[in-house]
Amino acid sequence: MTSLFNLWRRWRRRRLSDAALTWLARLNNPAITDREVADFQSWLMADPAHAEAYVLAESVWQQGERLAAARPDQSLSPARRMPFGRWPFDLSPLQWTLALPAVAVVFGLFILLRQPGSVTEAVYQTALGDITAVTLADASRIHLNTGTQLRVRFSGTERHVVLESGEALFEVQKDLKRPFVVETASGRIRVLGTVFSVQVSAHDAEITVSEGRVALHPAGTANNDTAPAAVLIRNQRADMTSSGLSAIEHLDAERALSWQKSQLIFDQTPLHQVIADINRYRAEPLTLAPELALLPVTAVLAVGKQSQDPAVALTQVLGLTLEQNRIMPASF
C-alpha cells in the first residue's frame, strides 16, 4: 500500500510540475491572450499545491537562466533548462543544487546560501505636488509620485523596499541572486522581473503592472511566505488588503501610470474621479458642485511643481468656473 501511495504522489508531483512549467512558458509568451491569463488565475487559485508548484517552477526556470549565464557556450532554451514533465525531485545533483532555494522557501526551511554582503539603506520621499525619480545601486529606478515615502534596504541576498505612503513606480533590474520585494501594510509584492506601480492607502495597496509579472502575497493569508494569492501581468491591476485581493482588472497601464511623465491622462472619466486625482497634488483640495460629478472628461493635464495648476487648465477646457477651490458651472 505504501508503495502505491508513493507512486501516486510521484505521479501527482509530475503532473503539477508539468502544468506549472506550461503556464510559466505561456506567461512568457508576448502573444498571451486575456482568456489565457484568466485561465491561469483560475488554475493558480484552485489549489494551494498549484501555487506552490508555480513558485518552484519559477525558481527552477530562473536558476536555469543563471546556469546558462555562467556557461555561455551552452545556450540553453527554457525548455532545455527544465524539460516539461520532469519534477524537481528527478533532477540531477547539479540541478537539485540550483533548485534548492525554492524548495527551502516552499517547505519553510532555512538554508544559508551565501554570506550576506554589505547592507545599504536609504529613505526617499516627495513633498505634496512633487514627482521625482531615483536610481538605486543595482540600476533599478523608482519613480515617486506626490506625497510618497519609502525605505530601501539592499543586502547581498535581497532588495527590500517598504512603501510607507503614496505611490511609486518600479523599474526593476533583473538579479537572480537578489529578489526584489516591495512590502506594504496590506502585504508583499514579489517581483518577477517587471515595471509596476504600487499605491498605498490606510486600507489597501493598489498594484498596476506595466511590464512583466508580480506575485501578490496579502498580509493575512496563510501562505504569505510561499504561495502567491495571484500573479499579475502587463495591463492588469488589483487591490490588495490584509485579508485578500479584489478582482483583477484589465486596463491601459501606460495611461494609468502617466503621472511618472508629469501627466494625468483621462478618457471619458467622470469629473469627480478627475478631481480626486488632482487633489493628490494640492495642499488645498478642490470641491465640486454635485451636478458636475458625472461630467465626462477627456484631457491631458500637467502635474508637478513646475506645472500650471491643473485645476485652472481643467476648468478652461471644460468651460467651468473655479472660485475658492470650488469648481462650479460657468455663470452667465
Compute mean pLDDT per 10 residues along the chain, 332 residues long, and list them: 70 82 74 72 75 68 48 38 40 45 34 48 91 86 94 90 96 85 93 86 92 88 66 93 88 92 92 95 94 94 84 92 92 60
Q: HEC profile for 60-81?
A: HHHHHHHHHHHCCCCCCCHHHH
The last residue of a domain, from among 252, 273, 307:
252
In a domain, 111, yes or no: no
Considering the domain architecture, whether residues 184 and 96 belong to the same structural domain is answered as no
Answer yes or no: do 73 and 165 share one domain: no
pLDDT value for 170: 95
Whether residues 216 and 147 fall in one domain: yes
Q: Same domain, yes or no, for 243 and 270?
A: no
**In a shared domain, residues 136 and 155:** yes
Length of the chain: 332
Report d(CA 131, CA 261) in Å as an integer: 9
Residues 147 and 40 in one domain: no
Q: Please check whether residue 113 lies inside any domain of the structure.
A: no
Distance between start and end Cα atoms, the chain: 89
**What letter represents residue 178's amino acid?**
R
Looking up cell 536610481, which residue turns up?
Answer: 135
In a domain, 272, yes or no: yes
Q: What pLDDT sits at residue 203? A: 87
Residues 6+ apart with CB under 8 A from 330: 319, 320, 321
Any idea what the CATH number is for the domain that residue 293 is in?
3.55.50.30
Whether residues 241 and 135 share a domain: the answer is yes
Could you tell me which residues are beta bridge partners of residue 150?
Answer: 124, 163
Residue 194 within any structural domain of the chain: yes
Q: Which pLDDT score, from 0 to 100, does residue 67 have? A: 45
pLDDT (0 to 100) of residue 60? 62
Domain-ending residue, one of 228, 252, 276: 252
Whether 179 is in a domain gets the answer: yes
* 124 shares a domain with 95: no
Q: Does 115 map to a domain?
A: no
Residue 54 forms part of a structural domain: yes
Contacts 24+ apart (CB under 8 A), 242-249: 242/185, 242/186, 242/187, 242/218, 243/218, 244/218, 244/220, 245/216, 245/218, 248/41
55 φ, ψ to 5°?
A: -60, -45
What b/e string do you get for 205-223 counting C-beta neighbours within 10 Å, with b at 16 or more? bbbbbbebbbbbbbbebee
In angstroms, rounded to a whole number, what is the distance separating the alpha carbons of residues 124 and 122? 7
Helix (H) or strand (E) holding 169: strand 159-171
Q: Are residues 29 and 62 in the same domain?
A: yes
How far is C-alpha 24 from the chain's CA centre?
17
pLDDT at 239: 94
User: Residue 236: phi, psi to the nearest 5?
Assistant: -125, 150
Co-location of 191 and 128 in the same domain: yes
Q: How far is CA 274 from CA 119, 175, 221, 284, 315, in A?
A: 42, 38, 34, 15, 12
Give residue 269's domain range: 262-329
Pair (198, 100) in one structural domain: no
Residue 93 lies in a domain: yes
pLDDT score for 250: 93
C-alpha cell at 208: 498596476
Looking at 75, 106, 137, the residue that finishes a domain is 106
**Residue 83: per-residue pLDDT:** 37
Supply the pLDDT for residue 243: 78
For residues 246 and 206, membership in a common domain is answered with yes
Q: Where are the alpha helices (DSSP H) in the chain?
A: 2-27, 34-46, 48-70, 78-81, 93-106, 253-256, 271-279, 310-318
pLDDT at residue 103 in the model? 39
- Give CA–CA dist 210/255, Å, rounded: 10
Predicted local confidence at residue 225, as pLDDT: 53
Q: How many domains does the chain have?
A: 3
Strand, coil or helix: what is 129? coil
- The model carries a pTM of 0.65
